[in-house]
Chains A and B, each alone.
Chain A
Amino acid sequence: MKRIMGLAAAALLLTTTVAACGSSDDASRGADAPKATTITVFAAASLKGAFTEIGAEFEKANPGVTVTFNFAGSADLVSQIQQGAPADVFASADTKNMDKATGDDLVDGTPADFATNTLEIATPPGNPAKIDSLDDLARKGVKVVLCAPEVPCGAAAVGVEQASGVDIAPVSEEQSVTDVLGKVISGEADAGLVYVTDVKAAGDQVVGVTFPESGDVVNTYPIASLAGSKSPEAARAFAEFVTGTKGQAVLAAAGFAKP
């Protein structure tokens, strides 16, 4: 008898805990629903600075709408959306990953290109290896860090190499722009290829060296509201806000160019 009571108590405990977890979640959602809307924007990591600012501007212009962000690599974001993550808007750092989302009919309408980005050489403060041009990256003894060809910034780096005929042998192929920047800022690497916007965002932690060949590889950023959105109007409004005057001004200030 005691044993059964114990079992029942354990089961009860388990169900109430589970129920408690569930109900608190529902309560917060339920309370918000009538007067406020929350949209979740999945955006490429390189957009973090600009989009955080745009989000604040958008909330100011649309009282009652809250914007939350999930910043990560575009490929990660697409796979999360494909696995059913609750996203309302998707802003990708390249068209390839947006195409994956449109291919799976996850996008509402047609994606709009809203910004472009090009590569720039980042060097540690003082530019100790005296990097002046893309050719210098192929010089012997210069430790260059690139993104791996599998990730968008690495694909862009390969594009620049092919367009210019400069063959760079990196000491490391990093996972993301942030990893490349980290190695440059710490002085481990003499140079790295990152986006113009990353050099700008890093401030005086790095010195940027522009090179003419960067114009050969332009990365285009598309944005789209998503078919699975529970607040399609707010989602569409956010995508339009990004392509609108205010959004474009913020993006330009962050170093992005117009598509």
Chain B
Amino acid sequence: MASASWSGVPRWVWVPAGAGALFIVLPLVALATRVEWGSFWSLITSESSRQALLLSLRTSGAATVLCVVLGVPMALVLARTSFRGQGLLRSLVLLPLVLPPVVGGIALLYTFGRRGLLGETMDVLGLQIAFSTTAVVIAQTFVSLPFLVVSLEGTLRTAGQRYEVVASTLGARPTTVLRRVTLPLVLPGLAAGAVLSFARALGEFGATITFAGSLEGVTRTLPLEIYLQRETNPDAAVALSLVLVVVAVLVIGLVRGTRGSQP
């Protein structure tokens, strides 16, 4: 079957490609082999594990909503308009992707912390962000936002503006065009970006530990719980790691699904 159709890929490419795949899969296999299957269920359902997983799902969900609310307009501005300094803006938006998470955490600390740039203002408003679940959501949003913006901007550019132009020449106002034409057109891309953001938020560790702290049920997300368990109970850390891997694989599978349905 495969040899009948011309793929255009030289056969030797399979060798490094296979090596690359092994490089990613092997550590996951190694992780799975170290799981104490006998006690797996009790390890992942302990009170602290459950709290951590639930908190992670809750905060990642909230972070994803924030990413959509803030990221969709950003992607629209980047893809559909042009102005001076747009290139710089695009680079800045991408920054959290490449920053070490701990740097993001420190930056957030000096922005939203008690003595941070906005700290006093928020104190006056009665908002206490330090050591709260809100801080976790902020940290996760900070690192996940670029995923949504980048993937949606790409989709917007690929989709082009033909239908939008037609709609507006037929008299539709910009908001109507956005609501009735643009958004439905890029919905698969938006969904993919949202799911990616969710996955990134789920794995967030460095910025959270630096900015939000670690308290069971309040700020200790699954990655923080894994890091802590490793000190005393490596078996629990391995079991929880596997849970995180499985959730991540499911989430990425979801992205593949939405991508696949794209025209």
Number of residues from A at the complex interface, CB < 8 A? 29
CB pair B219 A7 closer than 8 Å: no
CB pair B229–A7 under 8 Å, yes or no, is no
Cβ contact within 8 Å between A151 and B114: no
Complex contacts, B215 vs chain A, CB 8 Å: 170-173
A149 nearest in chain B by CB position: B232
Residues in chain A near residue B113, CB distance under 8 A: 186-188
| Whole-angstrom distance between the Cβ of B16 and the nearest chain A Cβ | 7
B162: interface (CB < 8 Å): no
Looking at chain A's contact residues, is the secondary structure mostly helix, strand, loop, or mixed? mixed
Contacts A151-B231, A188-B130; A10 near B15 (Cβ below 8 A): yes
Give the residues in chain B near A150, CB-CB below 8 Å. 228-229, 231-232
Which one of B19, B114, B214 lies within 8 Å of A187 (CB-CB)? B114
Once A187-B113, A187-B114, A187-B115 are accepted as A-B contacts, the answer to whether A3 and B213 lie under 8 Å apart by CB is no
B38 within 8 A of A: no
Which residue of A79, A171, A175, A186 is within 8 Å of B227 (Cβ)? A175
Asked if A212 lies at the interface with its beta carbon under 8 angstroms from chain B, I say: no
Interface residues of A in 170-193 (CB under 8 A from B): 170-175, 179, 182-183, 186-189
B110 lies within 8 A of chain A by Cβ: yes
Q: Which residue of A6, A148, A189 has the most chain B CB atoms within 10 A of its CB atom?
A: A148
Question: In whole angstroms, how far apart are the Cα atoms of A173 and B217 in the complex?
Answer: 12
Q: Check if B115 sits within 8 Å of A186, measured CB to CB.
A: yes
User: How long is the Cα–Cα vector from A143 to B131 in the complex, in angstroms?
Assistant: 9
Cβ of A14 under 8 Å from chain B? yes
Kindly state the separation between the CA atoms of A214 and B88 in the bound complex, as whole angstroms. Answer: 53
With A186-B109, A186-B113, A188-B130 as known contacts, state yes or no: A3 contacts B12, CB within 8 Å.
yes
B213 lies within 8 A of A75 (CB): no
Instruction: Decide if A145 is an interface residue (CB 8 Å cutoff).
Output: yes
CA distance A54 to B215 in the complex (A): 37
* 0/1 string, B206-233, CB within 8 A of A gives 1: 0001101111100110001001111110
Most buried by B among A3, A76, A150, A172: A172
Is residue B10 contacting chain A, with contact meaning CB distance below 8 A? yes
Given contacts A3-B12, A174-B213, A182-B210, contact A188 B228 (CB under 8 A): no
The answer to whether the Cβ of B84 comes within 8 Å of any Cβ in the partner chain is no
Known: A170-B215, A171-B131, A172-B213. A73 touches B10 (CB 8 A): no
> A residues within 8 A CB of B15?
7, 10-11, 14
A-B contact pairs, 29 of them (CB 8 A): A3-B12, A6-B12, A7-B11, A9-B12, A10-B12, A10-B15, A14-B15, A14-B19, A73-B231, A143-B130, A145-B131, A148-B231, A150-B228, A150-B232, A171-B213, A171-B215, A172-B131, A172-B213, A172-B214, A172-B219, A173-B213, A174-B213, A174-B214, A175-B227, A183-B213, A186-B110, A186-B113, A187-B114, A188-B131
Q: Which residues of B contact A (CB under 8 A)?
A: 10-12, 15-16, 19, 109-110, 113-115, 130-131, 209-210, 212-216, 219-220, 224, 227-232, 234
